[in-house]
A = this chain, B = another copy of it.
Amino acid sequence: MDKKYSVAILGATGNVGRLILEILEQRNFPYSSIKLLASPRSVGQKVISPKGHEYIVELACPSAFDGVDMVFASAGSAVSKELAPEIIKRGGVIIDNSSAFRMESGVPLVVPQVNADDIKNHKGIIANPNCSTAPLVLVLKPLDERFGIKRVVVSTYQSVSGAGKSAMDELTTASRKLLQNPEPALSSDEHKYEAFVHPIAFNLIPQIDVFTENGYTKEEMKLINESRKMLHRPDLAITCTAVRVPVYISHSESVNVEFEQDVSLEDIRSVMESTPDLVLEDNPSQNQYPRPAQVAGKDPVFVGRLREDESRANSFNFWLVSDNLRIGAALNAVRIGEALVSQLQKVSA
């Protein structure tokens, strides 16, 4: 009989933590037990999983990890930094959704469809990439292998759920307030806001995370650096502008990509059509292309608006949409867990 694993979810009451529990059940992950861990204010909370199992949230303290094989962490960088050594000390592996360890040289940063082999070298920590980066590398990897990517220019359209449940609630509250005006378009948006540095209702914020010295935001640098690490292309020419939009779930990206080799639109389409977990939804004559509200709740990465960019040879534009809580976070974390299980079973076989 296959071994089963003792699993914990750290940050179990957040957007991503709740979804990890749901996906572990859905995909029949080989767990013997699941512990839900969170900060003191959530301790004692009762959580009923989609399959009807009842859990009580426990305190995320070091001793909680005694006997735990695998921890899915989504409680922010500070918590991950504090608790990772405690998990490792007790023989567990942390699959971390925060940005705390992603760029550390000894830490595998993994989208299993892209670089599952990197998991082999883990030392107790496996990092889950940024929510805009995971779907992007899933699309770019097979194209890079076949045609050699020369340069990528990305502009993102990121939903508020990337900033947590409270950000989703803020979009709702602020939108409702603005819509009480007879002419919402002409109304000031100076309502109370906390989730972002500016109000987001019926507006755009071209800033995600804080600014770094080069004028880019941390979010933009995550997409750039994490793509390079996962594609094993440390010098890949890639640039990014990251923008928050008033959408609840799913991140969208307008992507321009240039290739080293001569390549046709049909070549690109053919690679995309044969890429697992990528759905090409691209039928202009029927006005069909992915849209965030329709992609929310779905597992694949959706691509549409694929077309030649006539401004440069071997260049193409496409539009990518994916559920940032799934492929961008919870689903990818569980897939990392599955890849880890598969490697452990090979070793023990």
A interface residues with partner B (beta carbon < 8 Å): 151-153, 155, 157, 161, 168, 171-172, 175-176, 179, 184-186, 189, 197-199, 202-207, 211, 214-216, 237-239, 241, 243, 245-249, 252, 254, 256, 284-285, 287, 289-294, 296-297, 304-312, 315, 317, 319
Contacts and interface: CB of A to CB of B under 8 A. Distances in A.
Contact of A157 (B204, B237, B284, B293): B204
A290 B238 CA distance: 24
B247 A205 contact: no
B197 A287 contact: yes
A247 B244 CA distance: 12
A332 to B, nearest CB: 20
Given A198-B291, A214-B307, 4 more contacts: A151-B312, A184-B248, A204-B291, A238-B311
Q: Taking the full assembly, how many copies of this chain does it contain?
A: 2
A189 B293 contact: yes
Which of A152, A197, A311 has most B Cβ within 10 Å? A311
A289 B217 CA distance: 13
Contacts of A285: 211
Contacts of A175: 175, 179
B311 A205 contact: no
Nearest to A245: B245
Contact of A287 (B152, B198, B237, B249): B198
A289 B247 CA distance: 21
Contacts of A155: 155, 241, 254
A247 B248 contact: no
Contacts of A198: 287, 291
Contact of A289 (B184, B207, B254, B284): B207
A176 B176 CA distance: 7
A243 to B, nearest CB: 7
B248 A254 contact: no
A185 to B, nearest CB: 4
